[in-house]
A = this chain, B = another copy of it.
């Protein structure tokens, strides 16, 4: 589909947002819905997303992100935070969602519960966190792809002090750790990065075909 291809060429990691332009409520909904509907391993969704509009908080986050301008110029800052661990409580809250969505009893989900717990139990604590973080990145991918298709600008950002972000957003007490964020809004006409040619591996560099 040509439209999608053009959208992915149009997008870029926006450095300067137009601080005067805000996403509509509907646009925010569209982005968040994309992240919410993204798949995750077993459907666990071992992460949460902090949606920051508050100016004072954004200034604090900016300081913890080496002063990067997107934090205060973008329309919204969306911080992806992964669960520090994947434990029985997390799996049980997932099972409750399964039971509710599919009209099943918890009893009937016992085998599924044990299977998920069994697969998780083989991982170290650090392994569980890394696994949770990867699931958040799938959702980030859905959000960024959707933004491009909707002509919404975005910049994925990993360059920030995670511990400071966790403190500012009270993530520790929720059992979460910040892993990545997307600043979203509309590019400024002044952003000289908008016009730079994209740098990507060629098909030969990225793909190997086994026919």
Interface of A with B (CB < 8 Å)? 1, 4-5, 8-9, 11, 13, 30, 32-39, 41, 43, 45, 48-54, 57, 94, 97-98, 101-102, 119, 130, 133-134, 137-142, 144-146, 149-150, 156, 158-159, 169, 179-180, 196-201, 203, 205-211
Tell me whether B149 and A199 are in contact (CB under 8 A).
Answer: no
A144 touches B141 (CB 8 A): yes
Residue of B nearest to A50 (CB): B208
**Complexed CA–CA distance, A37 and B203 (Å):** 11
Most buried by B among A32, A97, A98, A137: A137
Nearest opposing residue in chain B for A34, CB measure: B8
Q: A51-B207, A138-B141, A139-B141 are in contact. List 13 more A-B contacts (CB 8 A).
A: A1-B149, A13-B39, A35-B206, A36-B207, A37-B198, A37-B200, A38-B141, A49-B208, A51-B210, A57-B210, A101-B199, A137-B141, A140-B141
Asked if B37 and A9 sit within 8 Å, CB to CB, the answer is yes
Give complex CA distance A97, B144 in Å: 23
Could you write out 7 A-B pairs with CB less than 8 Å apart?
A38-B145, A51-B207, A52-B210, A101-B197, A138-B141, A141-B144, A145-B146
Q: Are B144 and A198 in contact (CB under 8 A)?
A: no
Q: Tell me the complex Cα distance, A43–B155, Å.
A: 12
Known interface pairs A37-B9, A139-B141. Does A54 touch B207 (Cβ–Cβ under 8 Å)? no
Given contacts A13-B39, A37-B9, A98-B199, contact A32 B1 (CB under 8 A): no
Complex CA gap A148/B116 in Å reads: 26
Of all A-B residue pairs in the complex, the 7 with the closest CB atoms, nearest first, are A141-B141, A137-B137, A8-B37, A145-B145, A138-B141, A101-B199, A52-B210
